Amino acid sequence: MIHFDNSYARLPERMFARQPPTAVPGPELLALNRPLAARLGLDADWLASDEGLAVLAGNAVPEGAAPLAQAYAGHQFGGFVPQLGDGRALLLGEVVAPDGARFDIQLKGSGRTPFSRGGDGKAWLGPVLREYIVSEFMAAMGVPTTRALAAVATGEPVFRETPLPGAILTRVASSHIRVGTFQFFAVRQDTDALRALTEHVIARHYPEADGPLGLLDAVVAAQARTVAQWMALGFIHGVMNTDNMAVSGETIDYGPCAFMDVFHPETVFSSIDQGGRYAWINQPQIAVWNLAQFATCLIPLMGERQAAIEAATESVHRFPEAYEAAWLERFAAKLGIADPREQDRALAERLLVVMAGGEADFTRTFAGLADGTARDEFRDPARFDAWAAEWRRRGQPDAALMAAANPRRIPRNHRIEAVIDAAREGDRAPFHALFDAVTHPREDRAEWDDFARAPAPQERVRATFCGT
């Protein structure tokens, strides 16, 4: 059983739409995250039973659940949409873990809601497996992120350009509240709802925050840390809309996400990001833009308007300093520097320049610094040699620090595509093999060596797609 305590469902009814999930004809458990179940205080054996599977598939609503679709708005590629909301997901309820931490349990792909905007509310197998793998890799690397508790095949087709196998992801998050959630009420000038939402988020995520401005300060700091971690892993979110930025600081919505192979700062994978708005190099600036939208929502709660605008602007302007400090800490660790100084920023940046010019693989270069193989990644090793000499003059690198900061394996795009292709044909072994390899990203095992290999030119995936 799942013991729910649903704080969001106790907020004003206009913040969501209550409804049950849509039943599916042939549920089958594809994956169950037993360590995460234990973290939540849930019985994994029960979740794997017929009774638990019915809940994970949306065929049964357990006692105490309060399924609802959350309302939110959002800027999508810079254009504002006043009503978005959970169009293919339902918050089943909240659980309080044994250590007192509160988590949402959400079914993603559970059918049409009032926010579906003509869509079917379903998910197909590919995006479910992608999010399951990538979110759990991010968790293994210590990146704040939503988590994947289970993946279930639904036994029915989902119709996109062609019929595709349906699936549901059970997603876990410290909450699913987004910048766009605040925007939904701000655009409607619903100050009472904004105040209730602000108080809820402070109590849930930032109890030390002093009012709306304190909340803004906390969210700015959290996002600075998270984005710096993305950059240090070569991760490209791909769709950094305000409705995809969680105020908790967790990474959320892994639709067209991808990791770089060959390093180039302007890399884009998302098929819908035609202008490169959300390229790797642009992610910090986009985070600032999104936080400015969040600040705008909070201004009506902050007293006299001009003073509020000035205070909110100052808060958002703290992002660059917080981000640069987090970036330096992350990249210094990747270089084995335990006591980073400001001049180490230039050392790390020069390596990135050499990597871009030498068409070096991002992950393999940093992992290879520890074992002496990084040089092999460069088309022109001489430039790397010059940089490496400077690096060695900095002092003996901390091998343990480098090992912790630099994964040996990432969920490479071509590997994920191969997993999805195999799963569509009924072969799930590649999924489990890749999942095991990337959720132990620092371990060196011979059976995982091939997962660390960079793609051959014909294997490279150059575009990724949203799950809708």
Compute CA 190 distance to the chain's CA centroid, rounded to the nearest angstrom: 29
104, 243, 273, 344: the active-site residue: 243
Task: Provide CB contacts within 8 A for 301, sequence distance 6+.
Answer: 191, 194, 195, 198, 211, 212
Contact 358, 380 (CB under 8 A): yes
Phi, psi of 150 (to 5 degrees): -160, 155
What one-character DSSP code corresponds to residue 23?
P
Distance CA 167, CA 172 (A): 16
Distance CA 416, CA 406 (A): 20
Bridging pattern class, strands 74-76 and 28-32 = unpaired
Tokens found for residue 177? 């509240």
Task: Tell me which H or E stretch contains 149.
Answer: strand 147-159
Strands of 20-146 (E only): list them.
28-32, 68-70, 74-76, 79-81, 89-96, 102-108, 123-124
* Total length of the chain: 468
Tokens found for residue 118? 């003509």
Distance CA 430, CA 436 (A): 10
**What b/e string do you get for 208-233 counting C-beta neighbours within 10 Å, with b at 16 or more?**
ebeebbebbbbbbbbbbbbbbbbbbb
Please indicate whether residue 243 is annotated as part of the active site: yes
Contact 125, 428 (CB under 8 A): no
Q: Which residues are catalytic?
A: 243
